[in-house]
Amino acid sequence: MGTRPEHGRARGVRRRTSRRSALLTPLGLPVLPALAPLTAALVACGAPAGGQPQAAKVAPGKVVVMSYQNTSPKLDMQQALYAELRQAFAPRGIEVDFVTTAASSNDAKMVQLTTMHVAGTPPDMWEWPWLWRSFEGMLAELTAFVARDKIDERQWIPEAIGSMKQGPKVWGVPVSISADAMAYNLELFEAGGLKPPPQDPDDRSWTMEAFLDTAKKLTRGTEQFGFGGSITGGIDWANAPTYFGYGPVDLAARKVTIDTAGFKGGVQFWVDLLLRHHIQPSNDELSALRTSPGQAAFLTGKVAMERISSLADPPRFRWGIAALPYTPNPAQPRNASGRISVHGLFMDSLSRVKDQAWEVFKYWMRPDTNQRYVVSDGHAVSPLVKTGSELSLQDFQTNMGANARAFFLQAQRSKVDAWGFYLLKDWSKAQAEIAPLFVETRAGKMAVSEFAARAHSAVERLASF
């Protein structure tokens, strides 16, 4: 459920953090050509960059922010960023208390935040990856703040800000994006005499059929596989058909679209990859390829391509990042593969310092501060369109050794996770019933047609628009 980080740690590889630490040191942005404008904006008397409104005159107060991250190094990065924020806000009399959570899963964090709200002692604001519907009835509406401060919603990727809204009502602000892209092992491609896949999502030659053909050519028995098996960083069954331009729901029409020909065809493709084409390893085959327990499939060096949103460690081989393959249909001619998981900042309706909390929201809308927040979340893409995500992309390349621009390009085209499935009321109840059905389907124990019918029914019975 939700955004799942890539797992695994390659033997003998130590994560390089010195560069990343420099990115997060107060006023310590590296002066690289692409980042020089951001550096100048940050150093110049702390003025907001990117056309953001100047800080409003707000009464003193204390804002409590609940962390989303709870383990190093991400939590350490965010603590450093909030220490810098506190320093900037101190002259204004606004105190910001960044408190950590011991909850280790999104479900546990949701319970904690809900319990605190009911008890009347919630944090004033927090970060969340499952959009606003998770906390319906608990959130402060931000529409008036956006209008008062003339915040231009066009500063964000449309899909990102759209996922924070219910009609004209604004319930959250995008702060970071986890996007899907395709990693490839350049050494395996060269050994196979094949051209690497394109970085541009609009390259019409990179279809699902071309992806399958490439994966077949790079599969060598059980010693090497063309594909690692990861469909998405979100809900696998819901995002699988997006590679053909189909999703599980149509929010505009308020319809469930799972038991339809296009959706079923998309699911069938991925099931066939494993059961019929055998271009990806089974669990036992993957275990045999690993050099350490739990190592990510791609990091074994025996997988030519893998869908990723992040990696725990840099590969020990030359690699690259390409766009996701896509086979268009008339209704979706532009690449809509995979998903973007939009992390947003939300404010509790019981907060007594809403004006002060809104100043924190605006602080993370600045291109300079926002990109550093993106880095602390382990992501490569900022939701702010004006930035081009220069800093976060540079950080990824420095620490992981590959040009990450495909993440940025794909994020402009992919739809929000599962096409807005997280915006259904009680979506998690439906997901709890559907997830094990898809496990059976991928194991060949349930036909795709039966899976689609049962999943469709579960969403209609348990969730609502």
- Give the DSSP H/E element, type plus range, for residue 144: helix 143-148
Q: Where is pLDDT greater, at 47 or 169?
A: 169
**What band does 312 get if pLDDT is binned at 50, 70 and 90?**
confident
36 pLDDT higher than 70:
no
The CATH class for the domain spanning 18-178+340-411 reads: alpha beta
**What band does 53 get if pLDDT is binned at 50, 70 and 90?**
low
Q: For the residues 11-15, what does the mean pLDDT come to?
A: 34
367, 141 contact by CB (below 8 A): no
DSSP state of 183: E
Question: For the chain, what are the domain ranges?
Answer: 18-178+340-411, 181-229+280-338
30 pLDDT higher than 80:
no
In sequence order, the 6+-apart residues with CB closer than 8 A to the CB of 120 are 350
Per CATH, 18-178+340-411 and 181-229+280-338 having the same topology is answered yes
Q: For the residues 144-171, what does the mean pLDDT come to?
A: 97
pLDDT of residue 386: 87
Indicate the SS3 state at residue 75.
helix
User: pLDDT, tens digit, for every residue of 386-433?
Assistant: 899 999 999 999 999 999 999 999 999 999 999 999 999 999 999 999
Rounded distance between C-alpha atoms, residue 231 and residue 297, angstroms:
13
How far, CA to CA in Å, does 266 sit from each of 25, 442, 449? 45, 13, 12
Q: Where is pLDDT greater, at 330 or 4?
A: 330
Residues forming a β-bridge with 183: 306, 321
pLDDT of residue 48: 44
**What band does 24 get if pLDDT is binned at 50, 70 and 90?**
low
Rounded distance between C-alpha atoms, residue 38 and residue 310, angstroms:
24
The radius of gyration of the chain from alpha carbons, rounded to an integer in Å, stands at 22
User: pLDDT, tens digit, for every residue of 230-261?
Assistant: 999 999 999 999 999 999 999 999 999 999 99
pLDDT of residue 51: 47
Rounded distance between C-alpha atoms, residue 95 and residue 282, angstroms:
52
12 alpha carbon, distance to own chain's centre: 28
**What band does 54 get if pLDDT is binned at 50, 70 and 90?**
low
Q: What is the DSSP string of 94-116?
A: EEEEEE-----SHHHHHHHHHHH
128 alpha carbon, distance to own chain's centre: 11
Residues forming a β-bridge with 332: 329
pLDDT of residue 381: 97
Q: Right CATH number for 181-229+280-338 from 3.40.190.10, 2.40.50.250, 3.90.1150.10, 3.90.320.10?
A: 3.40.190.10
Task: Quote the crossing angle between the two packed helices 448-462 and 427-442, to the nearest 10°.
Answer: 170
Rounded distance between C-alpha atoms, residue 263 and residue 436, angstroms:
18
Mean pLDDT of the chain: 90
139 pLDDT higher than 90:
yes
313 pLDDT higher than 80:
yes
Indicate the SS3 state at residue 410.
helix
Residue 29 CA neighbour count, 13 Å, CB half = 28
Q: For the residues 139-158, what does the mean pLDDT come to?
A: 98
User: pLDDT, tens digit, for every residue of 366-391?
Assistant: 999 999 999 999 999 999 998 999 99
First vs last C-alpha separation in the chain: 19
Q: For the residues 190-215, what does the mean pLDDT come to?
A: 98
**Cα angle 194, 219, 203; round to 5:** 40
pLDDT of residue 2: 41
User: pLDDT, tens digit, for every residue of 111-134?
Assistant: 999 999 999 999 999 999 999 999
User: pLDDT, tens digit, for every residue of 260-288?
Assistant: 999 999 999 999 999 999 999 999 999 99
**What band does 57 get if pLDDT is binned at 50, 70 and 90?**
confident
Rounded distance between C-alpha atoms, residue 64 and residue 79, angstroms:
13
Q: For the residues 297-326, what does the mean pLDDT come to?
A: 97
pLDDT of residue 42: 37
Rounded distance between C-alpha atoms, residue 407 and residue 411, angstroms:
6
